[in-house]
Amino acid sequence: MQPYFEYTDFDQEFYRVHIAPRLPPSVFDMHVHINLPEHVEMVPEERLLSDWALECGHILPYPDAYACAKELYPDIQYVIAGMPWPIREADLKGNNSYLARLRRDGKLVAFMGIRPEWNAEEVEQMLIEGNFLGFKPYPDMVAGTKGAEIGIFEFFPHSQWQILERHHKAVVLHLPRQERLADSANVRELLQARQKYPSVAIIVAHFGRSFCPYYLEEGLRQLGGADGFYFDTAAVVNPAVYDVAFSTIPLERILYGSDMPILFWHGRQEWTERTYRNLCREDYSWNKERRPPQEEARYTIFLYEQMRTLLDSIDRHGLTEAEKRGVMGDNARRVFGL
């Protein structure tokens, strides 16, 4: 396995003190990107450097994903649902075939990546033959930029929604537009999808890209609540977002996801009302705001920061053990029929 992160004594102690005592026996991570190097080798370097998340991690084969999970969470059963890397220039069909083989071998459950221009009959055949949990569409397949001002049905057309409706499958939906879940057009289209496709489990990724609480609070207000939707926690670290989530969203509709391999670096996050800033120890091109070495030495793996924040929020809101197990995996297993 290639090295994905430096695991220090400080990281090990952080896990022992802040995380291990509070983990349930099993965790189901429903948002992990799984691929082989050849699926992204054609992506230009400037494209990877255009997005901090892509630069942090865009390759993670199946065996490496489980090896990383075992190193980071050695005391529990850590189960992964995979999805391709949804980059427009990547080999998405090759990535889907890789995940389908893993599924046939009983190694992994997975979502299928799609492009809006693909033939609907072929898409449906791939879904059935690969026994995928559902689709992972992505705005990048149309726009090529994060937060692009495009509609949900532009990158995930009705013909593909109809496939999921027929087969009672799920979608993990990464919202477009700069205002994220708080965008009135996104809200209108989400409500339209819920009304037209009631048999589709609509999972809004990253709490609707709500990395700051404003977007989640305002989005849920416009939606009229969370009924008919599920929300995953992938890459969300802000405790104020979890406070909104646990106060507003029915607990059975919150699903744990990590967004591996993006969060393997050491760092923290700072927030304003609507923006966030990553503080990082590793030498990425986007890391322009370094802190003194003695401060950076206290950074742990960002995936641990996410997990501690989630566990702190669970404790703060007084979730029962059963409710915690629900958020950390049982909810997703129920949604996917696993």
What CATH code would you report for 9-336? 3.20.20.140
**Which amino acid, residue 185?**
A
pTM listed for this prediction: 0.96
CA-nearest of 113, 108, 111 to 89 is 113
Place of tokens 């090529």: 144
Cβ(194)–Cβ(229) below 8 Å: yes
> For the chain, what are the domain ranges?
9-336
* d(C-alpha 177, C-alpha 199), whole Å: 26
Place of tokens 């489990």: 201
**Which amino acid, residue 137?**
P
**Residue spans of beta strands (DSSP E) within 121-262:** 134-136, 170-173, 201-204, 230-232, 254-255
Interstrand relation of 254-255 and 267-271 (parallel, antiparallel or unpaired): unpaired
Mean pLDDT by 10 residues, the chain (338 residues): 86 98 98 97 90 92 97 97 93 98 96 97 97 96 81 97 98 96 98 98 98 98 96 98 98 98 95 93 92 93 98 97 98 96
Cβ(40)–Cβ(91) below 8 Å: yes
